[in-house]
């Protein structure tokens, strides 16, 4: 397995897609039930293959990720040839960016000495989607990129 197995909830959400996937493998509903009981390792492999296919599809479309903690924001733009990072560090232990109050504080003081910015970029490895997946495993959340684009305009990158 290249990525991670989908959760039970994700499989339930993608029930029809999974049925279609099994059909492409020439596995009927009855055969699937039989596989699960008689050859659970084969059934597990099918779940893993489907999970990887779903992840490949999702990762190939991801353009923006955000990883926000109490004192940091790591905003990623996953461009064609490289990953771009816009990092924000808050030097106020009272401000927690994960709360509405903390983010409101940030919106008031984003231009102050309490806030530090850093930009960086990095080329992808040979496996671009794996690089994206690693960022997600580290806490990155897929977004539309509104926050990244706002900062990009402000900073003038």
Using DSSP's 3-state secondary structure scheme, residue 51 falls into helix
Position 129 pLDDT exceeds 90: yes
Per-residue confidence band for 156, with pLDDT thresholds at 50, 70 and 90: low
What percent of the chain has pLDDT above 70? 99
The dihedral region occupied by 139, where left means phi > 0, alpha psi between -120 and 50, and beta the remainder, is left
pLDDT one-digit tens code per residue, 18-67: 999 999 989 998 999 999 999 999 999 999 999 999 999 999 999 999 99
pLDDT one-digit tens code per residue, 15-24: 999 999 999 9
Interval 85-91 mean pLDDT: 94
Position 154 pLDDT exceeds 80: no
Classify residue 152 as exposed, middle or buried by CB count within 10 Å of its CB (0-12, 13-18, 19+).
middle
Position 157 pLDDT exceeds 80: no
Average pLDDT across the chain, whole number: 93
Buried residues in 36-57 as b, exposed as e (16+ CB within 10 A)? eeeeeeebeebbbebbbebbee
Alpha helix segments (H runs only) across the chain: 8-13, 15-24, 29-38, 40-61, 100-109, 128-137, 146-155
């Amino acid at each position: 397995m290249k990525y991670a197995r989908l959760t039970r909830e994700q499989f339930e959400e993608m029930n029809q897609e999974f049925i279609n996937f099994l059909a492409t493998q020439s596995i009927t509903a009855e055969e699937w039930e039989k596989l699960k009981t008689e050859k659970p390792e084969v059934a597990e492999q099918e779940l893993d293959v489907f999970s990887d296919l779903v992840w490949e599809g999702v990762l190939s479309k991801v353009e923006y990720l955000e990883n926000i903690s109490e004192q940091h924001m790591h905003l990623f733009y996953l461009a064609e040839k490289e990953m771009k990072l816009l990092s924000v560090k808050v030097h106020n232990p009272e401000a927690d960016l994960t709360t509405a109050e903390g983010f409101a504080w940030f919106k008031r003081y984003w231009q102050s000495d309490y806030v530090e910015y850093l930009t960086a970029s990095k080329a992808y490895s040979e496996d671009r989607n794996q690089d994206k997946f690693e960022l997600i495993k580290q806490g990155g959340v897929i977004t539309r990129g509104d926050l990244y684009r706002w900062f990009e305009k402000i900073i003038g990158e």
